[in-house]
Amino acid sequence: MKLSRYVLRYDTEDGSVYFNTKNNHSFLITNELKKNIQENKTTESEYIAYLEENKYLLEENEVNKYLKQIEDRNNEILEFTILTHGDCNFRCKYCYEHFKNIGMSIETENAILKFAEEKLSNSQYHFLRIAWFGGEPLLGYKTIQRLSLEFLKICERFGITYSASITTNGFLLTSSKFEKLVREYDVTNFQITIDGDGESHDSQRVLKNQKGSYARILNNLHKMKDSNLDFICTLRFNISKENYDHMESFLLNDGRYFKNDDRFFLLYHNIGNWGQGDRSKDDCVTVFKNDMSFGISKKAVDLGYHLSLPSIVVHNSFSCYANRLNHYMFNVRGIVQACTVALYDNQNVFGNINTGFINKDKMKGWFLSVREDCKTCPFVLVCKSGFCPMAKHITKLSSSVICKNMQEKIRKNLALYAISGCYEDILDVD
């Protein structure tokens, strides 16, 4: 019996968690059963049969086989990220965007719809995924309304499965808007940022008028939780030196209202040096050199919270949207891009949907391409030779640095996956 090199393992006090990156299957085997397997041939045979059934054992040419499966799955999905408005009602102290008070024109909306219809008329696609982004996307709520209804009609016509998400600061997310987004426009995945407790959040995530935003956002989140609607909400926490000590305060206080609701997940990220945007030098936060997200994520798990990232990062569908072949980002003026961070870099501009021109050859340079020397790496089916195209093309990090960062990211999230008890099966003695 020889396990595939693409099976990841994390040891806990109770046993070992195995995650098969070939098919995303996972299980915990207890220490007691491991001992029993060594002593009992029948138990050993049953265990080997279980491993073989779930593809944990070495297969011939397995890396190419499963990379092909991942590619085929991605080719069935058409993805749009749409920046509905050029402005934001916030002026966060780490924001990289330059704001302009413009909404999306009817002409640009129609050009996007025409492009979607042309693409989806090709039987290649089975799924359409829309991500509403900004600025603050709810400033462009009318665009979300109109495009959503048209996307739904197109998908019904071609038999396409539709889904939509939104990244919003949550300030404008009234009960009425929230219910309409879920019920009428099929927006069922929300990401809303809460930067610690009220004090730290209001220091970092300030309104244009310099007032705080925490109390209203928290109230809107309470109304989401009190509804009986089917949705997922990720509460994102951006970590700086200024707010780090306030992260636990949210977990021990305001966060408890959401802890036992399976619709709410927590997500921790270090703030990065993403660009100055429209901020002055005084409107900044201090960036950590080391990753601080793992420690606070583990604390959240210990306190009984659900995390969003562990199950995503170890899964072989994990990749940045900017990496994917059938992903298109449209800004408020119809400019076609891939990355929502490198908004102002010419390398991230591929045409304009209003003219119908997209430089596909230029776009191809951003897409995932697995190097031959990576194929023996146990993380390759997750990493696929690098996660962030901006790191490769714009910040120009070396392959060794990208590799080191990705391996660390996967290992930490595998640990969180294991201690969160996300695995599918538990193998124990009867």
Interval 350-360: pLDDT, tens:
999 999 999 98
For the ranges 45-54, 278-287, 321-330, 366-375, the maximum mean pLDDT occurs at 45-54
pLDDT of residue 183: 98
pLDDT of residue 107: 98
Measure the CA–CA gap between 159 and 152, rounded to whole angstroms: 10
Residues in the chain: 430
pLDDT of residue 122: 83
Percent of the chain with pLDDT over 90: 84
pLDDT band with cut points at 50, 70 and 90 for residue 362: confident
Q: What is the mean pLDDT of the chain?
A: 94
Interval 336-348: pLDDT, tens:
999 999 899 999 9
pLDDT band with cut points at 50, 70 and 90 for residue 365: confident
Question: What does the block give as tokens for 429?
Answer: 């003695």
| Residue 384 DSSP code | S
pLDDT of residue 398: 85
Measure the CA–CA gap between 69 and 60, rounded to whole angstroms: 15
pLDDT of residue 312: 93
pLDDT band with cut points at 50, 70 and 90 for residue 83: very high
Angle, CA of 325, 159 and 73, to the nearest 5°: 30
Indicate if the pLDDT at residue 294 is higher than 80: yes
pLDDT band with cut points at 50, 70 and 90 for residue 319: confident
Q: Are 96 and 395 in contact (CB under 8 A)?
A: no
pLDDT of residue 63: 97
pLDDT band with cut points at 50, 70 and 90 for residue 328: very high
Indicate if the pLDDT at residue 297 is higher than 90: yes
pLDDT of residue 395: 78
- Residues forming beta bridges with residue 79, ordered by sequence position: 129, 327
pLDDT band with cut points at 50, 70 and 90 for residue 393: confident
- What's phi and psi for 50, nearest 5 deg? -65, -45
- Residues forming beta bridges with residue 233, ordered by sequence position: 190, 264
pLDDT of residue 320: 86
Q: Determine the average pLDDT of the residues in 94-105.
A: 94
For tokens 């072989």, name the residue.
Answer: 316
Closest CA to 66 of 387, 375, 311: 375
Q: How many other CB atoms sit within 10 Å of the CB of residue 249?
A: 16
Indicate if the pLDDT at residue 227 is higher than 80: yes
Q: Determine the average pLDDT of the residues in 395-418.
A: 91
What pTM was computed for the model? 0.95
Indicate if the pLDDT at residue 394 is higher than 80: no
Percent of the chain with pLDDT over 70: 100
Which of 23-32, 219-228, 245-254, 281-290 shows the lowest per-residue confidence on average (mean pLDDT)?
281-290
Interval 371-392: pLDDT, tens:
899 999 999 999 988 768 787 7
Closest CA to 177 of 213, 232, 137, 130: 137
pLDDT of residue 12: 96
pLDDT band with cut points at 50, 70 and 90 for residue 176: very high
Question: What does the block give as tokens for 343?
Answer: 């908004």
Burial class (CB in 10 A: 0-12, 13-18, 19+), 205: buried
pLDDT of residue 186: 98
pLDDT of residue 276: 77
Interval 116-174: pLDDT, tens:
999 999 889 999 999 999 999 999 999 999 999 999 999 999 999 999 999 999 999 99
